[in-house]
Every structure is written in C-alpha cells, then in structure tokens.
Amino acid sequence: MRAVVQRVVKSSVAVIDERVQNKREERIVGEIQGGLCILLGVGVGDTEEDAQWLADKIANLRIFEDDDGKMNRSLLETGGGALVVSQFTLYGDCRKGRRPSFVEAAPAEEGNRLYEYFVTRMKLHGIDTECGVFQTHMRVEILNDGPVTLILDTHKER
C-alpha cells in the first residue's frame, strides 16, 4: 500500500456528480479541521497486514509540533482527524511512454476492501476518520500545514 500523508489545517473531499439534471454538482462527503489528509493507494498483492501496519504507523507518526515547536506529537496525541481518500493513481507507472500504466494497482473490488479495512483500523485507534467515495470522481481540498508531506509504502518501509 502507498500513502501520501499531509499534515493539514483543514481538508475536505467532494464527490462530483455529472448526472444531476445534466449539471455538474459537487457534494462534500468528508471534512476535517486539523489532522492528516491521507491519499491511499492499494497495490496488487497488498494484504490486511499491510493495511494494519500502515494505519498503525500513520496514527503514531510524530509529525505534529509540541510546545517547543518540534515534531514530537502524533495524531493520537493531538486528537486531530483523518481524511482518507482512495487514489489508485499512486500506482501509476510513468517510466515508459506518455500514458501511465496502472497494472500495479489492485483490482477495484480488492482495492475497496483493503481501503475500507484501513479506514476501520484508523477508527479503531479512536481517530475521527472521514472518507471519500471509492471509485468516484472527487475534488480534494488540502490546506497543508508546514508544509509537511510524507510518502509511505508498505513494501519499502519494512
């Protein structure tokens, strides 16, 4: 699994529905005030163990400032929220040609299952967790704080 984790002041995700009376309509489905925006990709061969490891890692990452201004506090310690947005394009391979290949991304059914499992693991930590809608066109607003942006990959991290 791959995750782009951003420390945010606020973040939201809206679903784009173009079928509503031939108009483009946006509907906010998830929103947090302070915490982490997590763009999550699921790859071929990823498991529940990967999702659990990643959720535990992110929940405990010490990337929030303490009273001395040092990154020394975790999401669990700050009480911030998590906005989790599925993003299969994190598995886009751009090494050949001009169009990314997504053969390393998990099939939709398995990707959704592991995405939901990851969200459940975040909630089990007691983190207020909001979500996008899997396999839909979304707009994500991110007000990055710091900026702090980290990339985690379960197959490179262990």
Q: Where are the domains of the chain?
A: 2-157
Question: Is 89 designated active site?
Answer: yes
Q: How many Å apart are CA 16 and CA 107, to the nearest integer?
A: 22
Q: How many Å apart are CA 74 and CA 29, to the nearest integer?
A: 25
20 has a pLDDT exceeding 70: no
Q: What is the pLDDT of residue 24?
A: 76
Mean pLDDT of the 13-34 span = 85
Q: How many Å apart are CA 38 and CA 55, to the nearest integer?
A: 10
11 has a pLDDT exceeding 80: yes
81-86 and 23-41 strand pairing: parallel
Edge-first strand order for the sheet with 138-153 is 129-131, 81-86, 23-41, 2-20, 138-153
147 has a pLDDT exceeding 80: yes
Mean pLDDT of the 88-103 span = 95
Q: How many Å apart are CA 127 and CA 15, to the nearest integer?
A: 23
Instruction: Report DSSP state, residue 88.
Output: G
Q: What is the pLDDT of residue 17?
A: 80
N- to C-terminal Cα separation, the chain: 12
Q: Are 81 and 12 a contacting pair, CB within 8 Å?
A: no
From the candidates 47, 78, 89, 154, give the one annotated as an active-site residue: 89
158 has a pLDDT exceeding 70: no
As assigned by CATH, the class of the 2-157 domain is: alpha beta
* Single pTM value for the model: 0.94
18 has a pLDDT exceeding 80: no
Q: Are 9 and 148 a contacting pair, CB within 8 Å?
A: no
R_g over Cα of the chain: 16
Interval 41-58: pLDDT, tens: 999 999 999 999 999 999
130 has a pLDDT exceeding 90: yes
